[in-house]
Each structure stands twice: as structure tokens, then as C-alpha cells.
Amino acid sequence: MTTTLAFHHRFEPASGPGRPPLLLLHGTGGDENDLIPLGRALAPGAALLSPRGPVLENGMPRFFRRLSEGVFDEADLRRRTGELADFIEESRTAYGLAAPIAVGFSNGANIAAALLQLRPEVLAGAILIRAMVPLAEPPGADLAGKPVLILSGSLDPIVPGENSGRLAAQLERAGARVEHRSLPTGHGLSQGDLTLARDWIAAHAA
């Protein structure tokens, strides 16, 4: 189900009470369909909002431009973060949603982290899977106890452990309630990510 909004997206309405809506943000090369099965597994019955990244890199959708692996175009990131935040607000009105919890993977996790730092009011919390520090000098956001789960891979060749740890520290300093877990895996999604994320939603966002 979709309606005409700024981002091409999929929307699945809630089929049961008591679950916060999830904002699903795919990684590089994914689309609006990629994380729907993950969302269903993490929070059965929750409303799912899954936009497609509007930027193409060699034909692969992303949410913002990068200059090279791990080097972001921060001006584009800031602009795209504002556009995504506006889309979230439009979607909440169009679909009658509460503020969602972002579930982002890789590039999607990075823009979810930027949303927390630039437009924190649009999210109720976030699960950041394989996220990096998105902004070299983040603004002084007030995250006021907002729950955040960061899931890193100790064998990840793309995201150094120091980088994800620095992101956790930034969000904690801004007031977020951060849980940072490192799994013995690489950059891809694992069963461990699914289990930890599902349990976190049940404990923090029911």
C-alpha cells in the first residue's frame, strides 16, 4: 500500500495493537522491499514504512551521496536527511502513524543516525545495524532519553569498531539511552542481529 508522497515507498498498516510503527531504511543497492521481511519478524503486526533511497550510485539506490567508501558527502547528507524527515512527517499525517522507530542497515543506519542528530523529533528511537559516524561535527541534539540500539560486527571490514563506538558515545552525550552490542560477524545481517533487535523492541518499545 502506498500513497503519493515525496519518496517511493511501501507501507503496511498495523494488523494488531501495541506495536510502534517501524521506519525501514535499506542499505546500498536495496529498495523499499528489502527490509519488509525483517520488519515483520522484528515486530509482528506493526505498521511498516519503507522508503527507497533517492540517490543512485552506479545504479544502486542509496539515501545520500558518498565520495568514497566510508567518506560521506556531508552537504548532501544534511539535505537528504531533511528531506527524509519531511517525508516521515508527511507519512505520519497520511497514514495516521505515531513517531516510528527507525530500523536502518548500513547506509540506512547512517541516515537514521543523522536523523537522530539533525531531526530527532521525527523518531521515537532507532536500531542502527552496521552504522558509522555520519557527521564529522554533529549539532548539539537533545535526544532526551530516546532509546537507541547499535549493532556492530567485530569482523566488519567496512565499519571499524572505533567508529561505531564513537557514534554510540556521541548519541549518549546527546542524552540517548544507548545499548551498543558487537557481534562476531561481518557487515551482513545475522541471526544474532535479528534476535537482539527483536528482544530490544519487546523490552523498550512495546
Rounded-to-integer distance, Cα 13 and Cα 176, Å:
28
Among the listed residues 8, 187, 190, 204, the single catalytic one is 187
Task: Name the catalytic one among 9, 152, 156, 164.
Answer: 156
Alpha carbon distance 87, 122 (integer Å): 10
- How is residue 79 written as a grid cell? 539535505
Residue pointed to by grid coordinates 547506509? 107
Question: What's the grid cell of residue 139?
Answer: 549539532
Annotated catalytic residue 106: yes
User: Catalytic site residue 8?
Assistant: no
Residue 61, beta-bridge partner list: 56
d(CA 65, CA 149): 25
Q: For residue 81, what is the DSSP state?
A: H
In the set 91, 106, 152, 164, the catalytic residue is 106
Is position 187 annotated as part of the catalytic site?
yes
CA angle 8, 196, 92 (to 5 degrees): 30
The residues assigned a catalytic role are: 106, 156, 187
